[in-house]
Homo-oligomer: A and B are copies of this chain.
Amino acid sequence: MGPDEPATLLTVAKTAGVSKTTASDALRGSGRVSAQTKARVLEVAAALGYVPNGSARHLRRASTGTIGLHVPEVLTRSVYYMAFVFGVVQGAADNDYDVTLITSGRRTPRVDGLVLGDPLADDPIVTRLMAAGLPTVTCERFTGAGRADGVVLSQHAETVGALMDHLSASGAARPALIVAGDASDWAAAVHGGFRAWCEHHGREPLVRTVPFDAPPEDVRRAALELLALRPEIDALVCGPAGAAAHLVPLLREQGRVPGRDLLLASCVDSQAMQLADPPITAIDLRPREAGVRCAELLFELLAGHTRPGAERVQPIELVVRASTRRA
């Protein structure tokens, strides 16, 4: 039923009546090949179901066929990074590449390029990788020393602004923010977006900072302190992933039902936000797509199709749910 032997370049060449070199040139668009020859080779290749042998290609090109991927260690269990990593793997597979996860402090493994997810300015592994001289793409900007060859970023500050507009339209007059420290570009953007909106609308910026990997209790404490300090707060925006869901029971205990007495929103969407009672308004960061884009950008850089310094914008989306729709 299927072809007995996998078709190789030589099979295609012979069938098309040309040499392997010409076949190779025709298929890759390199060298000098006449239009008709090229068409014939492409036709034959399609008919035979020819798929280039990745191993042979990488061997010849002296590339490893592998890219390295690093994400902040504390967060590898998070759903966001799971999806992100998965996106990178998909993008790599589409380009015939493998992905190696870089976690330990060991020396850099043999890879053709690097993807760094949300690089923290004070992560020693990140600084070492940035200094390795390999083509590098980061998801969100690296705020430390050095510069990546490519950056995939999202308009966090603007989207937080849109979220604030929505809260305002839903009747919130005293919004407050709980955010992770500014070590990551994302947290800084959320923080900055909030402050900018407050300034522009003449509101006092009520902010509480928690560590990047704060456990639920810390988030709860931060919320309690904010509410004790300013009982008039009527909207709460949470930066850290999952944090908003942890606050629901606490707010209920305090007699403040989310969506009725107080608006609640998260800067990171997840299943927990959808399943919370009430479902929580959140920003969908599209982590999988971000991962795919990081890989794509890296391969463009590796192929020389794109100059170092490129920046790509990855769209994100505000998802409005019951927690911010005042009944």
Residues on A facing B (Cβ under 8 Å): 2, 6, 51, 53-59, 64-66, 79, 82-83, 85-86, 89-90, 93, 97-101, 107-108, 110, 242, 245-246, 248-249, 252, 270-272, 275-277
* A108 to B: closest C-beta gap in Å: 8
State the oligomeric state as a number of copies: 2
Residues of B within 8 A of A59 (CB): 53, 55-56, 59
In the complex, 17 of the A-B residue pairs with CB atoms within 8 angstroms, ordered by the A residue number, are A51-B110, A53-B59, A53-B64, A54-B64, A54-B66, A55-B57, A55-B64, A56-B59, A79-B271, A86-B86, A93-B99, A97-B98, A242-B275, A245-B275, A248-B277, A272-B275, A275-B276
Among residues of B, the one whose C-beta sits closest to the C-beta of A54 is B65
CA A83 to CA B54, docked complex, whole Å = 27
The answer to whether B100 and A93 have CB atoms under 8 Å apart is yes
Interface centre among A65, A93, A252, A275 (most CB of B within 10 A): A275
Residues of B within 8 A of A57 (CB): 55
Residues of B within 8 A of A270 (CB): 271
CA A108 to CA B3, docked complex, whole Å = 12
Among residues of B, the one whose C-beta sits closest to the C-beta of A279 is B249
Among residues of B, the one whose C-beta sits closest to the C-beta of A6 is B110
Contact pick for A93, options B90, B98, B110, B249, CB 8 Å? B98
The answer to whether A107 and B2 have CB atoms under 8 Å apart is yes
* A2 to B: closest C-beta gap in Å: 7
- Counting from the closest, the 6 A-B pairs by CB-CB distance are A55-B58, A55-B59, A249-B277, A55-B55, A98-B98, A245-B275
Residues of B within 8 A of A276 (CB): 275
Q: A59-B59, A242-B275 are in contact. List 13 more A-B contacts (CB 8 A).
A: A51-B110, A53-B64, A54-B66, A54-B98, A55-B56, A55-B59, A55-B65, A65-B98, A82-B83, A82-B86, A271-B271, A272-B275, A277-B277
The answer to whether B93 and A101 have CB atoms under 8 Å apart is yes
Residues of B within 8 A of A271 (CB): 79, 242, 270-272
